[in-house]
Structure 1
């Protein structure tokens, strides 16, 4: 299943890019003239926002916070809906919280952002940078959006006695390249190759890797003018996580509904990941959809324009 999801996403990217560049041998003179006019008008013009927010559910998107804008984010994951720790006794997870994230993203420029946040899960503090290096254009001279992102994480407290006592062991690093394409006004997809470095891999077990490579896919399907379906999937390439039975690990999968209201973007979602940060969920997702160990969550994104200029913007960003 995991390989099928990734292969389908890669195939969609390749097929659409090839279709855009394949010559049409059946165009008449009028079509050629219209194509020439369109190419001239759209040459180098950027495609409008592929996504409504800087984040999907599990992953970041290629969208950026504009210059001198501040994006305030609040994300929440509740407890298990079902399974041994779920059910009516905890109101199907709503009585508990597995993770809470509060963060800020600031636009130094339209193509460069700084972000900071704090997670409840292992009290992780994050400081990150995000740089848009390529923008998809209407004439397909640039067929994709490419954004690079990286963050450093610090777990400031010991998890248990004797774990993370040394501050150097509490540091983690995450790097990713986000490659997206807006295929139509309704469909955008992205793939995310990434690398995670844990100075001290946890849980403490023989074979647990310090370095993890991962590949993710995600997308947005617009259903109404201001809302649509979002989905995320991540596969960590880890021998330890593939072969471990106690605990047993699972690939993080999430699906949700996203609504854009102008200044706010609201996402309600379901995920088997307890953690919100990539640093945590790539290492520690031990919940199974099949056992009812998934949870409801939400993200609220509120944009503030600190430049003093007021202008009407289409889309969330």
Structure 2
């Protein structure tokens, strides 16, 4: 009898330990927030088909009625696939137009993402993810040009980024995320820096079962891209609404970022919210089980 009681007690302790270390799921509903990656990956053997669109300026000198508040222009467009190798590891490939203010256009982008640490109820209060990628400009080379599009070497067509994402789901309704990013471009203008460092803040507030409010911001810290050093550049900031219909996630947002890829928008955010230089954007994400 005593042995049975001891066995039952040990089993209860073991099960309570498992419960105390329960994983926290769905910190975010998507692998992106607006411009910034989230700590999420699609999951093992899941294929994520993504379409992201940024229109033109809604207001300001380049917006308004003349271009139907930016809807007749496309600042950037991206179409891509991302596949979950495991619950932690994801690989992705996409094609982007390239932002209207960038020297690099017609981008082919590779992505890798790995969940280093996952939030648990007791043992791990935070989630930590690494994201990294490369962008290859496939735009035609312009012989004799003094600009970036001269591409003296093939390697000059490349740009890279690495990003650490740290997030915590505080409750079923509230999530915050911090990020640190470095972007390296192999070829830049004389006044620019090859490396751009940025820090970011993002969040998500669940309004009801279907709709959530989201925001993110990225602040470049150095060089020509930093608002501290150049009054023609600004922090990237976006706000939006996210709709989870079960089969797919649809997001609609407003942002002053012209580009979509980290290698594009972080060094090149020249649009000012105060002057109406923000644009409507949307993202559609559809998951397939393979």
TM-score by length of 1: 0.80
Per the TM alignment, residue 226 of structure 1 is displaced from its structure 2 partner at its CA by 1.6
Q: In 1, distance between residues paired with 2:177 and 2:79?
A: 25
Q: 72, 81, 96: which is aligned to 1:119? A: 96
CA displacement 1:15-34 (0-9 Å, x = unmatched): xxxxxxxxxxxxxxxxxxxx
Matched, 1:229 2:213: yes
CA displacement 1:21-61 (0-9 Å, x = unmatched): xxxxxxxxxxxxxxx99953522210121011111101111
Q: 38, 52, 62: which is aligned to 1:61? A: 38
The CA RMSD measured in Å over matched residues stands at 1.6
> Contact 1:193–1:215 (CA<8 Å) still a contact in 2?
yes
The secondary structure found in structure 2 opposite 1:221 is strand
Q: In 1, distance between residues paired with 2:284 and 2:162?
A: 24
CA displacement 1:259-305 (0-9 Å, x = unmatched): 00011100000000110111100111110001110000000000000
Aligned to 1:194: 181
Aligned to 2:230: 244
CA displacement 1:153-187 (0-9 Å, x = unmatched): 11112586342422211111100111100000100
User: Which structure is higher in helix share?
Assistant: 1
Q: After the TM superposition, which parts of structure 1 deviate over 4 Å for at least 4 consecutive aligned residues?
A: 36-39
Matched, 1:264 2:264: no
Q: In 2, distance between residues paired with 1:82 and 1:159?
A: 34
> Contact 2:196–2:223 (CA<8 Å) still a contact in 1?
no
Q: In 2, distance between residues paired with 1:280 and 1:193?
A: 16
Aligned to 1:147: 129
* TM-aligned CA distance change 1:52 to 1:159, over 3 Å: farther
* TM-aligned CA distance change 1:205 to 1:234, over 3 Å: same
> Contact 1:156–1:167 (CA<8 Å) still a contact in 2?
no
Q: 81, 98, 101: which is aligned to 2:58? A: 81
Matched, 1:51 2:28: yes
Q: In 2, distance between residues paired with 1:55 and 1:231?
A: 11
Q: In 2, distance between residues paired with 1:128 and 1:41?
A: 34
TM-score by length of 2: 0.88
Aligned to 1:183: 170
> Contact 1:74–1:101 (CA<8 Å) still a contact in 2?
yes
* TM-aligned CA distance change 1:159 to 1:57, over 3 Å: farther
Q: Mean alpha-carbon deviation: is it higher for 156-165 or for 265-274? A: 156-165
Per the TM alignment, residue 116 of structure 1 is displaced from its structure 2 partner at its CA by 0.7
What stretches of structure 2 of length at least 5 have no aligned partner?
A: 1-12, 99-104
Q: In 1, distance between residues paired with 2:237 and 2:73?
A: 20
Per the TM alignment, residue 108 of structure 1 is displaced from its structure 2 partner at its CA by 0.7
> Contact 1:256–1:270 (CA<8 Å) still a contact in 2?
yes
> Contact 1:232–1:254 (CA<8 Å) still a contact in 2?
yes
Q: 130, 139, 156: which is aligned to 2:138? A: 156
> Contact 2:252–2:283 (CA<8 Å) still a contact in 1?
yes
Q: In 1, distance between residues paired with 2:221 and 2:261?
A: 18
